[in-house]
Amino acid sequence: MSLINRLDTRSPEFRAQLTALLAFEAGEDAAIERTVADILTDVRTRGDAAVLEYTRRFDRHQPADITALEIPRSEWLAALDALPAAQRDALEAAAARIRSYHEHQRAETWTYTEADGTVLGQKVTPLDRVGLYVPGGKAAYPSSLLMNAIPAKVAGVQEIVMVTPTPDGTRNQMVLAAAAIAGVDRAIAIGGAQGVAALAYGTATIPAVDKIVGPGNAFVAAAKRRVYGTVGIDMIAGPSEILVICDGHTPADWIAMDLFSQAEHDELAQAILLCPDADYLAEVESSIARLLPTMPRADIIRTSLANRGALIQVRDLDEACEIANNIAAEHLEISTREPERWADKIRHAGAIFMGRYSSESLGDYCAGPNHVLPTSRTARFSSPLGVYDFQKRSSLIQVSAQGAQTLGKLAAELAYGEGLAAHARSAEYRLDTGADATTTDSTAVSTDTSRT
C-alpha cells in the first residue's frame, strides 16, 4: 500500500479515480436503528425511569436516582478552578474570539412600510431552549463545546441544557470547565439515544428543548435523525475533510502537517492536496514519510492517508479551484500567493483558509469562526454552524385598510383560480365595496376600531 494516493488531472482515468476517492456512504445500520427507535419510544412513554435504566445499563454506573445525574454548577466551577492556568487562559481567549466573531452573525428584525401604509417584514427571535450533546470519554473536546454553545448564547437562547454521558461515572473535567466558560445553563450526566430522547420529549426532570446540536456516535446520530421535526437538529456530520490548494511555495512540512491534522481525527478522514508542481508534490510526500513516524496518532494518519488521502497534480490553480468547487470540502486551505484571487473563484466550501499562515488548526480552535462545518459535499447547500441556527424568523404582515383593497382583489382573483373560495371571500370581506353576496353584516366594517 502506498503512503498516499497520487493522481494527475491529465490522466484519462482522473474523474473516475476522484469519484472513487470521494465516495463515502454513511449507510444505515438496521440494528442501531431498531435499538434507537425502541429507546426513543421508551423514554417518551416512561420518562425519567427509562432514562435512569438506560444510563445504568450503557454507562455502567449506579446513580441513586435521576436527580443524581444533574451535574451541579459548583462542580463545573471547581473543574474550571482546577484547570492549569495556561489551559484556562487559552480556553477563555478562544471563547472570547469565538463570541466576537459570531456577534457579526446576529440577524435583526426588519420591516418596511409601503405607500399605502402596509407594513411588511420579519421578526427575528432566538430559540427558547437548546439541547447540547457532548460526547463522553476520549472524544470529548472542550473546543467543540465552545463552538456549539457560544453561537446559541449570542443568538439569545435563554437556556442551554447540556447532556453528556459519563461512562463508569467519570465526568470529564475539561468539558465541565468549558461548559462554565461557554455559559451552559444545565448539565446532565446522560448520553446516547436516551439523552437525545430526554431532550426531545422532555421528562419530569429534564425539560424538552427546541433544538439539539452537537456531535455524537452512531446511536446519537440515529436518534437525532429520528427526533427531527419534534425538535430541530444540526447537520449529521460525516468524516472530516481538508483540501489544500498550494502553489508549491509553502514549506512542504507545513502542508504535510496540515494534511496530518485532518487525518489524525479518524481513519475515514480525508486529506487532499492540489498543486500544479510535480516536484513540490514529491517534496510533500517526502515530508509525509519523514514526519509520520513522529506523530502520536501515526496509525490513524497512515490509514487515512493511504485509503482516502491524495496528492493531485493539477494543470494550474484555475483547475484546482474547479476541482475544489466540485469537492465542496469542509476545510479548504488556499496556501498560495494572493489567496484572495483564488478564493474569489470558490463557490462551495465550509471554511476557506487563505494564505500560508492560515492553518486549519487555527480555525479549529481559536480564530473565531465555527469549526462545526458541512462535510461530504454538503457545503453545496449548507453553512457552518452559526448564530443563524439559533434564531428563527416570523413574517410580519400588517395590511392597512387601503392596502387591503389592492391586495384583496389580487388575492381573490388568484384564490378563485385555485378553487379556494374561502380564501377569496376572506379577502373580499376586507374590500370597501362590501363583502360578497352571502355576507349579512356589511355594516360591521364600521365597528372595526383599528380602521382609521
- Specify binding-site residues for substrate: 240, 262, 265, 331, 364, 418, 423
Question: Using the rule CB under 8 A, which residue among 250, 270, 312, 320 binds its own copies?
Answer: 250
Q: How many contiguous H segments (helices) and E segments (strands) does the chain have?
A: 17, 14
Of residues 189, 222, 350, 434, which one binds its own copies by CB under 8 A? 350
Interface residue with its own copies among 257, 268, 282, 306 (CB under 8 A) is 257
* Residue ranges of the binding site: 133, 194, 217, 240, 262, 265, 331, 364, 418, 423
Which of residues 69 and 224 has its CB atom nearest to its own copies in the complex? 224
Report the C-alpha gap between 318 and 336 in whole angstroms.
12
Q: How far is the CB of 61 from its own copies (least distance, A)?
A: 24
| Backbone region of residue 369 per phi and psi (left: phi > 0; alpha: psi in -120 to 50; beta: other values) | beta
Of 415, 193, 192, give the one whose Cα is nearest residue 430.
415
* Count of CB atoms situated within 10 Å of the CB of 401: 16
**Which residues are annotated as part of the binding site for NAD(+)?**
133, 194, 217
CA angle 297, 301, 305 (to 5 degrees): 175
Quote the CA–CA distance of 200 and 345 in Å, as a whole number: 41
Are the C-beta atoms of residues 358 and 135 closer than 8 Å to each other?
no
Report which secondary-structure segment, H or E, holds 110.
strand 110-113
Would you give the DSSP letter of residue 369?
S
Catalytic residue among 283, 331, 371, 428: 331
- Set 264, 285, 330, 360: catalytic member: 330
Is residue 239 within the footprint of its own copies (CB under 8 A)? no
- Which of 29, 51, 263, 268 is close enough to bind its own copies by CB under 8 A? 263
The only residue of 174, 218, 268, 282 in contact with its own copies, by rule CB under 8 A: 174
Name residues contacting its own copies, limited to 359-398 (CB under 8 A).
359-370, 373-374, 376, 378-384, 386, 388, 392-398
The span from the CA of 176 to the CA of 184, in Å, is 10
Count of residues making up the chain: 452
241 part of the active site: no
Composition of the chain by helix, strand, coil, percent to 5: 50, 15, 35
Least CB distance to its own copies at residue 374 (A): 8
Q: Interaction with its own copies in 279-318: which residues (CB under 8 A)?
A: 290-291, 294-297, 301
Q: How far apart are CA 54 and CA 60, in angstroms?
A: 9
Annotated binding site for Zn(2+): 262, 265, 364, 423
Active site residue 330: yes
Least separation in angstroms between CB 425 and its own copies: 5
- Reduce the DSSP state of residue 375 to 3 states and report it: coil
Indicate whether 131 belongs to the interface with its own copies (CB under 8 A). Answer: no
349 touches its own copies by CB under 8 A: yes
User: Within positions 39 to 78, which residues make up the interface with its own copies, using CB under 8 A?
Assistant: none
Residues annotated catalytic, as ranges: 330-331
